[in-house]
């Protein structure tokens, strides 16, 4: 093997006495890390005759890939749908704070807003790697404004839009730029949505179906044109009906193109979805389930009044409503809470619960070769958890970026 001095001189860290989530199973193995990547120990021993420079005893912790949140509207007093002069410091604060909840990468999400907000905010979102400064940014998730009035949920009606003559050009004019955009949620029953879905997909942007009154055949057509995700399943869509199951029917549709998988987000906070509905979805299509927080600015703050884009919301315990109504508006649950609730509600394995917050979102975004697994050569973004799935430490690129202090354990 040709010697590669720059690689072999980098320190090698060996995490011992742990159970690693690899190949869908917790395996009692050591984890080897060098230069921010997960190392194959066999190559190290046999090809390089190398060994560890540092050994860390994990005290029987579970080591799992870092969580990836593809729908988060803000948190800790920061609202991603508000155009402010210090937007960058707000996004930095959220990316720092979510490390303690095991999130190592995320998609900052904007709810339906006027074009001026997109034009001001999107240029301030840059795709970046995570580190001690905070979780990595994978690109923005734009939820709206091309959604159904009937299923607008917490989105302001006066900002909703439809596709006019030049459908894709309308979308570009509304958003201003797609440079940092990773996901767009739209209602597939809208006229001309097919051409928009095709254009977005062509640019590598994930199209998600949501806030919609689409029937099953409209949803299937959208998938055939390239849509791959469902935004918060069951919420803001027609309820399941046995003669036309609507978007929910995609979970068991036989019209999905060969080799394609439809993923669906679920807010597993015990409020947005009854545990029985969570179990139905999981049993129908376990490999498509992606846990999302749909967290709003009030996550991590005391109950009271906060914002979600153009609206005022009230937090009462774990419930969040548009002020003065009983319309649910996002969540204040953290990702680690969602993982624990999902496991408890479905009775699924620890491995399944952890993969719903890591492997599945990575597969949805097509980054599973780098994130969402602990395979050799993937990014060393991982968590140490105890058996109750409480996060004890968070690592990005092999560096510890957060640890539970001894008092809080």
**Does the N-terminal peptide bond of residue 145 adopt cis geometry, omega within 30 degrees of 0?**
yes
User: How large is the greatest C-alpha to C-alpha distance in the chain, in angstroms?
Assistant: 68
Per residue in 356-387, pLDDT (tens digit) is: 999 999 999 999 999 999 999 999 999 999 99
Is 199 annotated as belonging to a binding site? no
C-alpha to C-alpha distance for 364 and 59, rounded to whole angstroms: 33
Give the span between the Cα atoms of 36 and 130, in whole angstroms: 11
- For residue 211, say whether it is annotated as part of any ligand binding site: yes
pLDDT tens per residue across span 182-237: 999 999 999 999 999 999 999 999 999 999 999 999 999 999 999 999 999 999 99
Q: How far apart are the first and last CA of the chain?
A: 45
Q: Is 161 annotated as a binding residue?
A: no
Q: Tell whether residue 42 is among the known ligand binding residues.
A: no
Beta bridge partners of 37: 34, 379
Residue 1 in this model has a pLDDT that exceeds 50: no
232 is in an annotated binding site: yes
Tell me what the mean pLDDT of segment 16-41 comes to.
97
**Residue 35 in this model has a pLDDT that exceeds 60:** yes
CA 196 to chain centre: 23
Total number of residues shown for the chain: 409
The reply to whether 294 belongs to the active site is yes
What per-residue confidence (pLDDT) applies to 8? 57
Angle ∠(20,278,320) on CA atoms, nearest 5:
100
Least confident range of 136-140, 269-273, 279-283, 288-292? 269-273
Instruction: Provide mean pLDDT across the span 284-311.
Output: 95
**What pLDDT is stored for residue 299 in this prediction?**
95
Please give the model's pTM, rounded to 2 decimal places.
0.96
Tell me which of 69, 79, 269, 294 is the catalytic residue.
Answer: 294
The reported pLDDT for the residue numbered 47 is 83
- Could you give the domains of the chain? 13-64+373-403 (2.30.40.10), 66-365 (3.20.20.140)
Flag whether 282 is marked binding. no
For the chain, give the percent of residues with pLDDT over 70: 97
């Amino acid at each position: 093997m040709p010697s590669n001095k720059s690689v072999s001189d980098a320190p090698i860290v060996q995490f011992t006495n742990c159970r690693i989530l690899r190949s869908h199973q917790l395996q009692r193995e050591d984890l080897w890390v060098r230069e921010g990547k997960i190392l194959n120990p066999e190559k190290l021993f046999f090809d390089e005759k190398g060994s560890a420079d540092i050994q860390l005893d994990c005290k029987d912790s579970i080591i799992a890939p870092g969580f990836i949140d593809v729908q988060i509207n803000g948190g800790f007093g920061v609202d991603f749908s508000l155009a402010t002069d210090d937007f960058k410091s707000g996004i930095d604060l959220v990316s720092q704070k979510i490390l303690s909840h095991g999130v190592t990468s995320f998609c900052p999400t904007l709810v339906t807003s006027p074009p001026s907000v997109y034009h001001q905010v999107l240029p301030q979102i840059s795709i970046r790697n995570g580190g001690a400064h905070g979780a990595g940014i994978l690109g923005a998730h734009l939820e709206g404004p091309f959604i159904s009035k009937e299923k607008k949920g917490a989105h302001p009606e006066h900002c909703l839009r439809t596709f006019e003559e030049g459908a894709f050009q309308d979308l570009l004019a509304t958003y201003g730029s797609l440079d940092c955009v990773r996901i767009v949620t739209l209602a597939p029953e809208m006229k001309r949505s097919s051409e928009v879905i095709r254009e977005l997909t062509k640019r590598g942007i994930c199209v998600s179906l949501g806030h919609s009154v689409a029937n099953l055949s409209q949803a299937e057509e959208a998938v055939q044109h390239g849509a791959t995700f469902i935004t918060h399943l069951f919420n803001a869509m027609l309820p399941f009906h046995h003669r036309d199951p609507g978007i929910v029917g995609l979970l068991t549709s036989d019209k999905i193109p060969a080799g394609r998988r439809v993923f669906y987000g679920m807010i597993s906070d015990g409020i947005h979805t009854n545990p029985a509905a969570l179990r139905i979805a999981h049993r129908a299509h376990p490999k498509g389930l992606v846990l999302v927080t749909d967290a709003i600015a009030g996550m991590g703050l005391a109950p009271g009044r906060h914002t979600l884009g153009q609206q005022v919301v009230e937090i009462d315990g774990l419930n969040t409503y548009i002020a003065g109504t009983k319309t649910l508006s996002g969540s204040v649950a953290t990702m680690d809470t969602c993982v624990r609730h999902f496991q408890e509600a479905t009775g699924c394995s620890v491995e399944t619960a952890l993969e719903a917050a890591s492997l599945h979102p990575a597969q949805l975004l097509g980054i599973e070769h780098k994130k969402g697994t602990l395979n050799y050569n993937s990014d060393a973004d991982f968590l140490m958890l105890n058996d109750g799935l409480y996060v004890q430490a968070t690592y990005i690129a092999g560096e510890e970026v957060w640890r539970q202090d001894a008092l809080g354990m």
